[in-house]
């Protein structure tokens, strides 16, 4: 059962499925429908109630109702997002130092997953300012972008479509037009005038990306991002 992939036991899964077709119902009725011992059923009902998957209704004997599947899925999605954001923060705090750039001062990245990881690291290391142009194709790092302002740093983000990070300026551009102009899906970040991650992502999971702290590259990328962000903000006001 799919529920078991999200931390539910096999017994809890059977009880929830049985209760969906019976709600509201007593523990005895649920046990009978699920083919389980009553003691195990009541234990599972208590665990499901603690996770918000089941509600215990007032009155005697006690009746239970299953939370609607879409509500349960939404709750699990939010829990997972919080847990993943917390894990990212904990793992980020264990980083002793940023990955050393290549001898040329540039790290060339061709793998999409690696590129997203470099983006997340760039955002997590920003302590003063983060400038970024992203799009829905980088949704995996939205939590890291949103966390920048919560740390007290300035975060100015332009998103070329929706969904977008919270507080980002949104400029909706058809993906086809973006790919025709850029030859792919563009991404650019600059953290603290110290590190930049920029590149063009492709639908096959590859990317033409660069990560660098080189003083000859950073000022140019930051200047272009500031101009793009200022232009987007002016368009939104008008």
Provide the residue ranges of all domains of the chain, joining segments of one domain with +. Answer: 2-70, 104-237
Per-position b or e across 190-225, b if 16+ CB within 10 A of its CB:
bbbebbbbbbbbbeeeebebbbbbeeebbeebbeeb
Segment 208-219 mean pLDDT: 92
pLDDT tens, residue by residue, 145-192: 999 999 899 999 999 999 999 999 999 999 999 999 999 999 999 999
Verdict on whether the full-model pTM lies above 0.85: no
Q: Answer with the residue of higher pLDDT: 7 or 64.
A: 64
Could you please state the CATH topology (level 3) that the domain comprising 104-237 is classified under.
Answer: Endonuclease; Chain A (3.30.870)
Segment 201-225 mean pLDDT: 92
DSSP string, 73-99: HHHHHHHHHHHHHHHHHHHHHT--SPP
Could you please state the CATH topology (level 3) that the domain comprising 2-70 is classified under.
Answer: Arc Repressor Mutant, subunit A (1.10.10)
pLDDT of 101 > 60? The answer is: no
Task: Output the pLDDT for position 103.
Answer: 47
CB 183 within 8 A of CB 200: yes
pLDDT tens, residue by residue, 24-42: 899 899 999 999 999 999 9
Residues contacting 98, CB < 8 A, separation 6+? 121, 125, 195, 213
Nearest to 132 by CA among 201, 198, 216: 198
């Amino acid at each position: 059962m799919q529920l078991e992939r999200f931390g539910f036991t096999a017994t809890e899964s059977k009880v929830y499925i049985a209760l969906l077709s019976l709600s509201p119902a007593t523990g005895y009725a649920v046990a009978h429908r699920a083919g389980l011992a009553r003691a195990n059923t009541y234990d599972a009902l208590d665990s499901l109630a603690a996770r918000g998957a089941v509600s215990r209704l007032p009155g005697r004997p006690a009746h239970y109702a299953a939370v609607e599947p879409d509500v349960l899925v939404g709750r699990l999605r939010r829990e997972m997002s919080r847990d993943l954001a917390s894990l990212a923060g904990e793992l980020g705090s264990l980083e002793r130092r940023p990955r050393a750039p290549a001898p040329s001062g540039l790290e060339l990245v061709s793998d999409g997953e690696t590129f997203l990881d470099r983006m997340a690291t760039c955002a997590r290391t920003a302590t003063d300012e983060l400038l970024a142009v992203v799009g829905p194709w980088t949704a995996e790092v939205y939590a890291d972008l949103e966390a920048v302002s919560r740390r007290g740093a300035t975060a100015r983000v332009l998103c070329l479509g929706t969904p977008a990070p919270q507080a980002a300026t949104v400029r909706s551009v058809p993906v086809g037009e973006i790919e025709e102009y850029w030859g792919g899906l563009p991404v650019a970040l600059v953290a603290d005038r110290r590190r930049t991650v920029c590149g063009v992502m492709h639908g096959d999971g590859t990317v033409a990306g660069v990560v660098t702290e080189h003083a000859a590259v950073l000022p140019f990328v930051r200047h272009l991002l500031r101009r793009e962000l200022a232009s987007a903000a002016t368009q939104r006001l008008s």
